Structure 1
Amino acid sequence: MMEKAMAWDIWTRNPFAWPLLTMEIWRRALEEAAFPAPAPGVGPEWCTPNRLLLELNGLRLWDFSVSDAGAPVLIVAPYALHDAQLADLAPDHSIVQALLQNGCERLYLAEWKSATSETRLVGIDAQLAALNVAVDDIGGPVDLIGPCQGGWFSLVYAARFPHKIRRIVVAGAPIDLQAACSALSEPVEKTTNHVIDRLIESGGGIVKGEQMAPLWPREDCEERRLVDSLQLRPPFSSPPEQAAVVAFQRWDKRVVDLPGPYYREVFCRLFRENLLARGAFPALGKAANICALDKPLFLLVGEHDTIAPPGQALAGADLVAGAVETAIAPCGHLALFMGRSTIANEWPRIASWLVEA
């Protein structure tokens, strides 16, 4: 039976709707935000024990390790609308726990901080430099895991510093934006630089998460969103299910602010100019060419992902020079990182791929 179409699927399939939709979503973004602002200082609410290993202006490095055995694994959280708890939401909904339970005993996570007046001028190069410090402090070579927007960023870093990387896992990330339609890439093409400038200026150099939240594609029903993301069945009556729902709802409302230059560079270089797939992504004075990247790569893709659809995500297999393994999970975008079935079925395989190398 065909699944009920998501709200954004209609305009994703209708190219004549893109210009009108683009004007509408940016109009909404520049108006008063629909989501409440997060409380100052509130960040990820981890469900797995850890310690803070390093804190920079824009990055925190968390150590989830349970031993010193094996190669170090570093999860590079996405720097987008929501914070890094995406990787450690709740028991049975945690990439971190799945990796630890399946042999990845040296495990770290890079969390990007919400932008402030001190970091509002930060661009991609500064983020790459911060990640480079984290990798050096861990001691490489490391295995990188990049969920969502952390995926393309991990590929850029690996292409720029290949000697510091052993293996790479990319989950639900856009790689070749011209390979398939998505809920994000095509409206981006219709958005002018002037609109981007206005959005940044309206936040005093910062792209406010509360302004971006209404733009993010969402199911039109909260229950459907919970079902799709957590892979649970209503009425969510057991204590573990209730705890996961509460954790998800808190994470969903806790938005992140982005530095204006970083946002503009991602918008232009990744989504508009497709420089990652072209092997010409600027990275600390050089072009990061993923076409020359010969490190083993694992691509995890959601069959029903409209944010990073299979065509965009799997394109990486034909671009890189190294050996590639792929897995297509029967789910949408968020379920790749927090869905109970995906965590139980796909992430142990990824952990084995890392450990057995």
Structure 2
Amino acid sequence: MTAPADEHVETDQPLDRDPTAVQTEAPSPDPAAYLRGYHATAAVRGAAELTKGAGYVLRRAFEQSTTPGRNTRDAQRWWRHVMTRRRPQWHNDQEIVFETPIARLRDFSQGSTDDVVPTLVLPPQAGHDSCIVDFQPRQSQMMVLRECGLTRAFTLDWVGATRATSGTTISDYIAVVDRAVEHCGGRVNLVGDCQGGWLATIYAAIHPDKVNTLTLAGAPIDFHAGETPIGASSRVMTQRFGQLPYRAMVAAGGGNMPGAFVLGGFIAIRPEAEIAKHVDLLRNLDDPGAIARYEAFEDWFKHTQDVPGTFYLWLVEHLFAGNELINGELEVDGERVDMRNIACPLFLLGGATDHITPPVQVFAAAEHVSTPADQVTKRTAPGGHLGLFMGNQALRHEWPPLMTAVAEHSRPHGGRRSA
């Protein structure tokens, strides 16, 4: 799943003292106790940020150089920025080459006919728009692919669920991935971000002959490795109540998991980040660049879309709770999903401070595939979850080496490359 803030608000804390820090060891035998500690610490952090924010507001209000009229105008400007949200946009040149009720395929190749294996990205799907992979003109995972030589670049774009698509299943998503692969030529470099990562892994295990390389970023493959608030809460909920709480949320969404519910859960994980973000907005009301960055992120983060209810309940039961992909028990259409079928080059990227999907959950993939050890690359980025997909640090320094290596596996000797 996705996180409530980008890498600019991640904080590093000692792992042995802070329940909210990224945990790399085995999950707690008492997830309820872990959650109590986590949320208590999160509440303290949230209160601390709220106190700092209130202190800043009061100091600002009583500054001799700040008049009551100026304070009022600034408050109005701040409130307008907080409340005005627009639909997030795709930024770089691309075209929709096919569309289904659950997904679109966007082609970023821009006319390239290079003799290179096409690359297909599966973005996160957790209540937000897929344009995170093309977040800004100069912050675009899709453009990084092209710049690294993967000029035939495609991405799926998940369509928000409606009542008509509430019954969408994992089989439907596998089918739309397969259609995209066939459109690309029948064999691709598959890149999976977050939830797109486990979907990519399932597809690669079912269709290993169609995957040239597999790249997973911030993707929960071993859902029970390490400890996270999402993992612990799903264990507590399912152990005590089965799927009843999740079914109730889907019922409240008219058959779908409301994106607004998912957003609220993410904010609750790091309340201090949400508070700090809005205090920073007040501090930077006269900085157009800061305002633009705030609006770009908030437009993406706060514009939610629903997840199909049938699909959501399936992933809670079989992945979050059952961890069946790693256990070797997962079945799709009566066929067991065996990760040992995957033998292609494997590239794994985790975020050092990722509290949604710690690196241990991503790197576990290497222990369950047949890819030779010398063809497995693991890389840890110095940031959090969303920073892996949209952050400048990851896009400038972490993705290029990985994608350059993918490109080396993707071009026949002497293959031509257009400008």
TM-score class normalised by the smaller sequence: 0.7 to 0.9
Structure 1 residues 115 and 37 mapped into 2: Cα distance closer, same or farther (>3 Å)?
Answer: farther
Aligned-partner Cα distance in 2 for 1:11–1:311: 10
1:5-56 C-alpha deviation (Å, 9 max, x unpaired):
8997179888444576999xxxxxxxxxxx99988xx5x5111110010101
Contact 2:225 2:360 in 1 (8 A): yes
Task: Verify: 1:333 aligned to 2:385, yes or no.
Answer: yes
Q: Which moved more, 1:256-265 or 1:286-295?
A: 286-295
Contact 1:175 1:316 in 2 (8 A): yes
Taking structure 2 as the reference length, the TM-score comes to 0.73
Which residue in the other structure is 1:308 paired with?
Answer: 357
Write the letter of the residue equivalent to 1:68.
T
Which residue in the other structure is 2:96 paired with?
Answer: 52
Q: Structure 2: 5+ residue runs without aligned partners? A: 1-10, 40-81, 410-419
Looking at secondary structure, tell me which structure has more helix per residue. 2
Which residue in the other structure is 1:26 paired with?
Answer: none
Contact 1:269 1:275 in 2 (8 A): yes
Which residue in the other structure is 1:209 paired with?
Answer: 259
Match of residue 121, structure 2, among 49, 58, 75? 75
Task: Verify: 1:274 aligned to 2:326, yes or no.
Answer: no
Taking structure 1 as the reference length, the TM-score comes to 0.85
Structure 1 residues 126 and 263 mapped into 2: Cα distance closer, same or farther (>3 Å)?
Answer: same
Contact 1:147 1:173 in 2 (8 A): yes
Aligned-partner Cα distance in 1 for 2:108–2:102: 20
- 1:269 CA drift (Å): 0.8
Contact 1:21 1:187 in 2 (8 A): no
Aligned-partner Cα distance in 1 for 2:176–2:216: 20
Structure 1 residues 241 and 53 mapped into 2: Cα distance closer, same or farther (>3 Å)?
Answer: farther
Contact 1:64 1:107 in 2 (8 A): yes
Contact 2:22 2:354 in 1 (8 A): no
Match of residue 130, structure 2, among 74, 84, 87? 84
Contact 2:126 2:262 in 1 (8 A): no
Name which one, 1 or 2, has greater alpha-carbon Rg: 2
Write the letter of the residue equivalent to 1:126.
D
Contact 2:22 2:358 in 1 (8 A): no
Aligned-partner Cα distance in 1 for 2:392–2:138: 6
- 1:236 CA drift (Å): 10
The total of aligned residue pairs comes to 336
- The CA RMSD measured in Å over matched residues stands at 3.0
Question: What SS does the aligned partner of 1:220 have?
Answer: helix
Task: Verify: 1:324 aligned to 2:376, yes or no.
Answer: yes
Match of residue 102, structure 1, among 138, 141, 148? 148
Task: Verify: 1:9 aligned to 2:55, yes or no.
Answer: no
Aligned-partner Cα distance in 1 for 2:151–2:231: 37
Question: What SS does the aligned partner of 2:377 have?
Answer: strand
Aligned-partner Cα distance in 1 for 2:195–2:178: 17
Question: What SS does the aligned partner of 2:323 have?
Answer: coil
Aligned-partner Cα distance in 2 for 1:236–1:99: 35
Structure 1 residues 240 and 92 mapped into 2: Cα distance closer, same or farther (>3 Å)?
Answer: farther
Structure 1 residues 101 and 344 mapped into 2: Cα distance closer, same or farther (>3 Å)?
Answer: same
> What is the aligned-residue identity percentage?
31
- 1:244 CA drift (Å): 3.7
Aligned-partner Cα distance in 2 for 1:214–1:21: 20
Q: Structure 1: 5+ residue runs without aligned partners? A: 24-34, 227-233
